[in-house]
Each structure stands twice: as C-alpha cells, then as structure tokens.
Structure 1
Amino acid sequence: MSRFKDDDKERYLTYSIVVRQADEEKGIKEQVVTKKMAKFIDGGPKEFLDWTYHFFQLAKLKEWGPEDKFHNTKILLEGDLLDAFNHYEASANDGDMRMGDDDFTKALYQASIVVEMLPLRVD
C-alpha cells in the first residue's frame, strides 16, 4: 500500500484553491478545496489532450497568468516533452521577459508534437 502512496507523490501534485475568502468581521472562515493534478510523464496524443484540458481548468481556477502557467507546466511535464517545452519557451521569449498567453499556448502546442513521436511504452 505504501508503494502506491509513493507512486502517487511521484505522479501527482496537489494544489489548494481558495473558493471563499475569510472575513473576520462577518465570521466567515476561508474555504479551500484541493485539486490533484497529474504530471505528464508518458502517454499518447489523447492522454496529452486530456492532461492539457485539466491543466487549463486548474490554471483558470488558480487565476494563473502566463508566467504561472510556464512555471507550473515545467513542474508537471517530464522527459522529452519537458525538454521540448523548454526549447520552445526559449524561442518564444526572444529576449522579451514578458510573455503572454499566446506565447504559452504556442510553446505548449509546439512541444506537444513530441508526444506523437514518443515510442509507446509496453509493460
């Protein structure tokens, strides 16, 4: 059983999302929910599309800007896909430190081409 917990820690990150701010004057306590987000370690195009959907949902809930999306994507991707994402982020940057959502989406899309080229893993 503990092996599964260790695997879980390796494959997922848990994010806290504040759904209601605390207000001491009104006696309202902060309400927080957690969302477990899978790392993208391996998989095909369908799995990457599913992962991307969940990532964008998380980014919306967390109200992430482009810098937050870049940062968290680097935490959640691994292997060749992470290498490709880093490469395309660097080329999208072009010395401009401020990157927008379009730059993020473009870097993620360009890196995703690697997913189609990855060999299938057979256990």
Structure 2
Amino acid sequence: MNFCYRLEKVGNLCARWRILQEALGIVDADDLALIVRTNQVKMANALIELRVVCLRFLAATLRLPEMHQQSATKAKILLVYFQSLYAKNVEVVDAAHASLKELLANRGEKVACRKISYKVDCGRF
C-alpha cells in the first residue's frame, strides 16, 4: 500500500487524499454502521482484517514527508490509534499498539538526530 500511495502516476493528490480519508473512516466507524445483517460472522472477520490493514496504511502514510505539514490529519490519525487501543478485538488493539510503538520509536530517532546535528553545527562556531 505504501508503494501505491507514493506513486505519482497512480492518481492526483485528491485521489490519494481520498484513500487516506477512507482508511480513517473505516478505522473510526462503529461496527454496527459497517456490518450488514446477513452473514455477520464473515463480515465481522473481514472488518477486523480491513481495520488492521487500514491501521498499517495510516502508519505508512505518517512516515511520508508530505504528512509533516498536515497537523490536523496527523492529530486525527493519532486519535484513531488511541481509540483503537480500546477496541473489542485483540487483533485491532495489537495492530494499533504496534503502529504507535513504531511511530514513537521513529519520532525518537528523528529528535535524537536533530539534537546531534544541532550539536555538530554549534561546535563549528
């Protein structure tokens, strides 16, 4: 998904933005709003798998350079992650936890790199 999202020839910015918004909507929506009455067990299992994939997709989009300027969207994604930590299904909780852990680890590395580069630049004076 990350590969497809980053391709410039796949579609314009509006199409990629729509995919991101759809993934946010799927993860954030209530189960009853997405499950049709017929075949509830199959639909519930498919919904769990879809939510896990959407959580991974959202984590991949947060790593993109274009997302650094989208503070409102980043806040919404993080809100959805924390809501997913309290989901009824263990697979969704595990996916949200793993994605948050990865994002926070990457963020820590970036902060450490900025501090190191700042010290190196300051040492040149």
- When normalised by structure 2's length, the TM-score is 0.32
Q: Which structure carries more strand by proportion? A: 1
Q: Which structure carries more helix by proportion? A: 2
